[in-house]
Structure 1
Amino acid sequence: MNLRGMAAIYRSEMARTRRTLLQSIVSPVLSTSLYFVVFGSAIGSRITEVAGISYGAFIVPGLIMLMLLTQSVSNASFGIFFPRFSGSIYELLSAPVSYMEIVMGYVGAAASKSILLGLIILGTAGLFVPLQIAHPFWMLLFLVLTAFTFSLLGFIIGIWAEGFDRLQLVPLLVITPLTFLGGTFYSIDMLPPFWQGVTLLNPVVYLVSGFRWSFYGVGDVSLAASLAVVVAFLAVSLAVVSWIFRSGYRLKP
């Protein structure tokens, strides 16, 4: 394995984050803090507890997951799209690095940024609400698995997109709505039975539920189901990325 080549891609992507620190780090943290202020204060004053947890603390895992999904996809999609847009992707493909090393460089950098943001927001949340993490190992596992899985999805979107407008199509029209409807701000037990069944078709429910369980030991679905969905999503994303490089989809002129 060409570790030096993979590290070069990783460092290049992380350097871009340092150059755009305000956009990459500060902006997501501020926007998530506003959620704490608005939902924690305005709605939290009317909904005191959910599943025995104060409402402000209850929404913390969902807000971190919302940021994690959107930032992972956005960082990875832009990271691979720009080389395609500028034409430098052909130099990369002709370099002595395998497709797996290319993917690990870009996806590893995107996931690292998202994990860093998630930890910063977790620390910020402690300023607003009392937090407890009942299962730190599972919390970190869900954080890392979700970041890598959706960074792979972002990588796929960056290959698929033909223009900058399409980079935001999936995050805005698919991922963000699914996250808001996936139990970020409420428990699906609060819904009527019919809508509970419909909501369980949303894969984000399993991500949010598993992540929330790692904090408070409660979730809308079992831990095994949450892990199964994350691992299945990861396997499908890896299979699609493998097919892209084998077929040359959107990579070869």
Structure 2
Amino acid sequence: MNWRGIWAIYHFEMMRFFRTLLQSFISPVISTSLYFVVFGTAIGARIDQVEGVSYGAFIVPGLVMLSVITQAISNASFGIYFPKFIGTVYELLSAPLNFLEIVIGYVGAAATKALFIGTVILITSSLFVDLQIAHPLAMVVFLLLTCVSFALLGFILGLWAGNFEQLQLVPLLVVTPLVFLGGSFYSISMLPPAWQTITLFNPVVYLISGFRWAFFDMADVPVGLSLLAIGGFTLLCLAVIWWIFRTGWRLRP
């Protein structure tokens, strides 16, 4: 394993993040505050509790998942797309690095950035609501797995995208709606039976349900199924990336 090469990629990506640290820090704080004002105050005035949990606290796991997923995808996709755009990806491919070492460098940096944002949102949320975490270790595990798995998805999108418009297409039109419809701000038990069944086909439901269980010891789907879903998604992304590097699809003319 070429740890020096991995560190070079990781360090370069993290330096790009630290150059805009103030923006990266302020943006999630403002966004989280606005969500609490809109959802916590406006809707919370009509929905006092959800399954025994105050609505303001109930939406915290959904807020964290929303930000972590979008940030992981955005950072990973831009990180690998920009070398493609300026042509330096060929230098990367000719370096003594295999596909796994390249992935660890880029995905590790994107997951670290998303983890930072998720931590900032958790701290900000604690200023608005009394936040209790029933299973701290499980919360960390779900957060790390989500950061890594969606950073892998972002890496795939960065390899696939042919322009900056395509880079934003899937996150805006597919991922964000799935997160909003995946129980971020409500429990799927509040839906009619038919819609509950349809919602179970949304993979994001399993992530948010497992993460919410870590906070409140309550879940819409079994926790084991949530872990199985995120584990399978991670392996699928790794398999797709391996195939891309093996065939050179979207990497070589």
Structure 2 match to 1:29: 29
Structure 1 match to 2:233: 233
Deviation at 1:36, TM superposition (A): 1.3
Contact 2:7–2:105 (CA<8 Å) still a contact in 1?
Answer: yes
Contact 1:32–1:67 (CA<8 Å) still a contact in 2?
Answer: no
1: CA distance, partners of 2:37 / 2:191: 25
Structure 1 match to 2:6: 6
Structure 2 match to 1:148: 148
Contact 1:107–1:148 (CA<8 Å) still a contact in 2?
Answer: yes
Q: Tell me whether 1:242 sits opposite 2:253 in the alignment.
A: no
Structure 2 match to 1:49: 49
Letter paired with 1:85: F
1: CA distance, partners of 2:250 / 2:23: 28
Q: CA RMSD in A?
A: 0.8
Q: % of aligned pairs identical?
A: 64
1: CA distance, partners of 2:17 / 2:25: 8
Deviation at 1:187, TM superposition (A): 0.4
Structure 1 match to 2:207: 207
> What SS is found at the alignment partner of 1:250?
coil
Deviation at 1:252, TM superposition (A): 1.0
Structure 1 match to 2:96: 96
> What SS is found at the alignment partner of 2:184?
coil
Deviation at 1:221, TM superposition (A): 0.5
2: CA distance, partners of 1:233 / 1:55: 30
1: CA distance, partners of 2:189 / 2:231: 25
Letter paired with 2:24: S
Structure 2 match to 1:68: 68
Contact 2:32–2:124 (CA<8 Å) still a contact in 1?
Answer: no
1: CA distance, partners of 2:82 / 2:22: 20
Contact 1:107–1:152 (CA<8 Å) still a contact in 2?
Answer: yes
Equivalent positions of 1:117-136 (< 5 A) are: 117-136=117-136
Equivalent positions of 1:143-222 (< 5 A) are: 143-222=143-222
> What SS is found at the alignment partner of 1:219?
coil
Tell me the alpha carbon deviations over residues 52-81 of structure 1, each in whole angstroms, 9 at most, x when there is no partner. Answer: 000000000001000011110000000000
Deviation at 1:27, TM superposition (A): 1.4
Letter paired with 1:232: G
Deviation at 1:133, TM superposition (A): 0.5
Deviation at 1:22, TM superposition (A): 4.0
Tell me the alpha carbon deviations over residues 75-101 of structure 1, each in whole angstroms, 9 at most, x when there is no partner. Answer: 000000000000000011111111111
Contact 1:29–1:117 (CA<8 Å) still a contact in 2?
Answer: no
Deviation at 1:247, TM superposition (A): 0.5
Contact 1:40–1:55 (CA<8 Å) still a contact in 2?
Answer: yes
2: CA distance, partners of 1:68 / 1:152: 13
> What SS is found at the alignment partner of 2:129?
coil
1: CA distance, partners of 2:148 / 2:229: 14
Deviation at 1:32, TM superposition (A): 2.2
Structure 2 match to 1:20: 20
Unaligned runs of 5+ in 2: none
Unaligned runs of 5+ in 1: none
Letter paired with 2:120: I
Instruction: Please report the TM-score for the alignment, with normalisation by the length of structure 2.
Output: 0.98
2: CA distance, partners of 1:29 / 1:252: 40
2: CA distance, partners of 1:97 / 1:74: 24
2: CA distance, partners of 1:177 / 1:198: 14
Instruction: Please report the TM-score for the alignment, with normalisation by the length of structure 1.
Output: 0.98
Contact 2:32–2:125 (CA<8 Å) still a contact in 1?
Answer: no
> What SS is found at the alignment partner of 2:79?
helix
